[in-house]
Each structure stands twice: as C-alpha cells, then as structure tokens.
Amino acid sequence: MSDSPQPAAIGHYVDLLMANLTRSIFLGEESHDVNIAEWEGLADLEMDAEPLLDVLRRSGVRLTRLGGDSERRQMGQDFPPAAETMVGQKRLAEVRNCVETVIKDGIEGDLIETGVWRGGVTILMKGIVEAWADLDPYGGSRTVWVADSFDGLPAPNIESYPADAGLDLSEMALLKVDVATVKSNFARYNLLDDRVRFLEGWFSDTLPDAPIDKLAVLRLDGDLYESTMDALVALEPKVSDGGFVIVDDYGSWEACRKAVDEYREANNITAPIEQVDWTGVHWRTQR
C-alpha cells in the first residue's frame, strides 16, 4: 500500500460520517421503544395497570428508554432505532480500511454491498469515494452499487439450499426498508448522484446480469446461504486483483459461512481469511 499521508480533512470527515451512520455520537439521546405491557416497572406498582395502559395507548403515548449500549453499537450487535447501518463501528472501520486501501493502491473497480438494509455501509463507501476523488486514480469513475430486495429477506428455499433451514427472517418487518427510504438516506448526506446505482430485487434476478464490469470491493451482507452464494457466483469473479471481498455474517450465520467456504474451495481461493470482529471477515483477492 502506498504510504502517502491521508489529508487531515478527509480523516475527520470519514470519522464523523462513521460516527453519525452508527449514531455512536448520539447514543445518550437515542430513544428505544419499551413495550408498555411488558415494562417491568409496572409490577412494582402493585395495581391493576390495564386502565392506565388503555389510556396511554388511546392517546398514542409511547414509552421510551433513553440511551443506547455503546459496547453493542461498537460491535454491531443491536438493531439501532435510527442509525443507517446495524454493522457497528468496528466493521464500518474495516469497510473504510478496505475502500481507502483500494484507492491508495490504485485498484480498479466499483464498490458494492449486497444486502444494505437502510444503506449505511454504501453511504460510507460513497462518502469515502467522494472525499478521496482527487487523489484516486479512478476518482470520478467509481460507482457504488446498492443491491437489495428493499423488501427484506426471501423465505428459505430449503429444497435447493438445505443449509438455510430454520433461518426464516422473511416476515421480519424491521428488515424491510424500501428503496425510497434508502435513497433519501443518501440524500441526507448529500451523496445521492448518478454514480450511486440501485439493483432492486432478489439477488438471483438482479446480480447475474448487473452491468458491472470490475469491482474493487464486494461486501456481502445477505445472511442466508442462498443470498451469499448468489452474490459470490455473480460478483466474485469481477473483483480485481488486490480488491477485497468482505463477509459480514461469516461468524454469526453458519449457513453464510458454509456458502463462503464451499465457494472458496470450489474456486481454489486460498487468500487468507482475516477476522475483523466476532462475525465479520475479509480476504484480499489474488488473481
């Protein structure tokens, strides 16, 4: 890697972007919904709380607890109420490191995340690409691809992908974030332009024919065996020599790990897997 110093202003901008995308700097002000009916403080009141709960519900009052857990946010182990990403500071820092490395090393190609939720990781990728544009040999030409159903995960297809048995997150409303919301999240940071492109639909439909020529960074975050394998088969061959493949769910979902291990073995990929935190890993492509 080139050891040219990083301009201070870029460093400060990217630090701030990461801290804001995870809401790490606003943790004390964050409100977390509490289910009134299950609120443990009610038991201490030693009274029939139902009439009170009824009044509160009818008046649209929500009970919230102030403050997030900084350790969990650091490690990406909670569902943040407002942050644009759930991956946490540690894995975001790894994305930053990979993107800045491909820029400094002049590795050709676009950047993509498959499985974006509210879009935070791709917003970070775009922010870094823009901040480094004048120092990047491919500055001005890198596209950030944002691939998702924008409607949550598919139901597991156990016949074709038995490893996904028991991993049905398809009804989880929290994971369904529509494309308009993700676009407006980019716009909040003034990072929505025609070099951010959205691939909307199931990976099996959108990725094989996506008009992507080369990738410098491929980040997988689709949880399932099927979602991980679909993304690897369609996109890993497009990763440039010296580019990165990042896998969010390697440590947390056995199905994902199995897809990665099988793909690497079938394609003789021996580049070492580097562990990032309790779940994230990456490897650097050697062609």
Ligand X SMILES: C[S@@+](CC[C@H](N)C(=O)[O-])C[C@H]1O[C@@H](n2cnc3c(N)ncnc32)[C@H](O)[C@@H]1O
Contact residues for ligand X (CB under 6 A)?
Answer: 85-87, 113, 115-117, 120-121, 148-149, 152-154, 175, 202-203, 221-224, 227
Nearer to ligand X, 128 or 224 (CB): 224
Q: Which is nearer to ligand X, 104 or 176 (CB)?
A: 176
Q: How far is the CB of 121 from ligand X (least distance, A)?
A: 4
Output the smallest distance, CB 203 to ligand X, in A. Answer: 4
| Least distance (Å) between residue 135 CB and ligand X | 26
Nearest CA to 205 out of 230, 229, 184 is that of: 230
CB-wise, 242 or 260, nearer to ligand X? 260
The residue number with the shortest CB distance to ligand X is: 115
Shortest separation between residue 89's beta carbon and ligand X, angstroms: 12
Nearer to ligand X, 37 or 155 (CB): 155
Shortest reach from residue 139's CB to ligand X, in Å: 24
**What's the min distance (Å) between Cβ of 207 and ligand X?**
8
Nearer residue to ligand X within complex by CB, 95 or 138: 95
Torsion of CA 205, 206, 210, 214, to 10 degrees: -110
Considering the complex, state which of residue 131 and residue 224 has its C-beta at the smaller distance from ligand X.
224
